[in-house]
Structure 1
Amino acid sequence: MKKMQIFEPAMCCPTGLCGVGVDPELLRVSTVLNTLKKNGVTVERFNLSSAPQQFMSNRAVNHFINTKGVDGLPVTVLDGEIVIAGRYPSNEEFANLLGVPETLFDGKPKTVKVTPRRSDGCGCSGGKCC
């Protein structure tokens, strides 16, 4: 089975699904990953703030950050190679890269257009995120 890992920018909690302004793209990715897990496919997900050692120990990701910086995150790694950078895979790309039927995600949003917003914090109350 193929090994997929997603390396994400620093967020206040492991999935980024906290605070008052939840990013719909992060919600889509979490839903896809939960669906994959329920169907026996594991995708590892690493957040820069909670798993910095994973970024350092992965050669491809470490090189990417040293050349492009953390602003290029997220990156998707498949079997040790970066296959997507700067965005999350679409549902179709998840299916194609992992060799699962796209129908696995029926009823789920295919893609979500997100306009990045600047924030001084994650919106978590008193530093408690998850």
Structure 2
Amino acid sequence: MKKVEIFDPAMCCSTGVCGPSVDPDLTRVASAVYSLENKGFDIKRYQLTNDPDKFADNNKINRVLQEKGPDALPIVLVDGEIANVGGYPSNDELAEWFDTNPEELTEKPKVRLSINMNDLK
């Protein structure tokens, strides 16, 4: 099974729904990663702000950052090899890597709220 690691630039969240404008590419990638994780595939995202050790411990990521600077992010590794620099993989690429259909990568995280109507009185 393939292993995919996405090294994100520094940002406040991985979904793209924070701040004054929504980045549709980030929301697409967040949905795809969520769908793949739920299917048991080996895919991880690391943010420079939250996971600096993952960046520091990886020689390939370090080399790209030293050569190109932080504008090279995001960087995508597939089985430890650089697959993308400066952009996120398409859903077609993710589907190919994990041998699945691109249509299956659009599942959105569901949040459920439990409200007890008796507590509202």
Deviates more, 1:52-61 or 1:95-104: 95-104
Matching of residues 1-130 of structure 1 within 5 Å: 1-105=1-105
Give the residue type in structure 1 aligned to 2:63: H
Q: Does the CA-based 8 Å contact 1:14-1:46 persist in structure 2?
A: no
Give the residue type in structure 2 aligned to 1:39: K
Identity %: 42
Structure with the largest fraction of helix: 2
Deviations 1:56-94 (A, max 9, x none): 101111111011111011011011111111110001000
Shift, 1:49, TM fit: 1.0
Please give the alpha-carbon distance, in whole angstroms, between the structure 2 residues aligned to 1:9 and 1:106: 23
User: How large is the Cα RMSD of the aligned pairs?
Assistant: 2.0
Paired residues, what number?
108
Q: Does the CA-based 8 Å contact 1:6-1:44 persist in structure 2?
A: yes
Shift, 1:43, TM fit: 1.1
Give the residue type in structure 2 aligned to 1:4: V
The structure-2 alpha-carbon separation of the partners of 1:89 and 1:16, relative to structure 1 and needing over 3 Å to count, comes to: same
Please give the alpha-carbon distance, in whole angstroms, between the structure 1 residues aligned to 2:106 and 2:44: 22
Could you list the runs of 5+ residues in structure 1 that have no partner in the other structure? 109-130
Give the residue type in structure 1 aligned to 2:73: L
Please give the alpha-carbon distance, in whole angstroms, between the structure 2 residues aligned to 1:88 and 1:62: 18
Give the residue type in structure 2 aligned to 1:93: E
Q: Does the CA-based 8 Å contact 2:6-2:74 persist in structure 1?
A: yes
The structure-2 alpha-carbon separation of the partners of 1:30 and 1:68, relative to structure 1 and needing over 3 Å to count, comes to: same
Give the residue type in structure 1 aligned to 2:6: I
Could you list the runs of 5+ residues in structure 2 that have no partner in the other structure? 109-121
Shift, 1:15, TM fit: 4.0
Please give the alpha-carbon distance, in whole angstroms, between the structure 2 residues aligned to 1:15 and 1:59: 27
Q: Normalised by the size of structure 1, how large is the TM-score? A: 0.74
